[in-house]
Amino acid sequence: MIRIDKIRIEQFRGIRELTLSLNGQNFAACGPNGTGKSGIVDAIEFALTGNVSRLAGAGTGGLSVKSHGPHVDSRSKPEAASVTLDVTIPALGNKKAQIRRTVKSASAPEITPADKDVLATFESVNLHP
């Protein structure tokens, strides 16, 4: 298990730039349709797994994160579309870590610190988001 301390979303889906300081607490997003609520959830899933499950499966017409992940104004610059999570890992003595993914390199997240316990934690979350 991890606790999200902060999320930074840049040029991802319908969100140009957003930073939320969650401090490991639960949060709720409310607002009118089209204001980015689902985009926040998509961003968290993308940071942890490299995918957005809403873009896969029957009825999606072959959508992909690479083509539909970047903000509409940044489609030609997938490297600009990124999500960064600062997290706390309670099972590792409340160790702090960070994972960052870009749409351009979705399968290669930047994880710090890159020690084996932190990497194993993120791999576990990736397998069971």
**Strands (DSSP E) along the chain, which ranges?**
3-12, 15-21, 82-89, 95-102, 110-112
DSSP one-letter string for 58-92: TTSTT--HHHHSB-GGGTT-GGG-EEEEEEEEGGG
Domains of the chain: 3-127 (3.40.50.300)
**pTM to 2 decimals?**
0.83
Tens of pLDDT, residues 22-53: 999 998 989 998 888 888 999 999 999 998 87
Tens of pLDDT, residues 75-110: 556 678 899 999 999 999 999 999 999 988 999 999
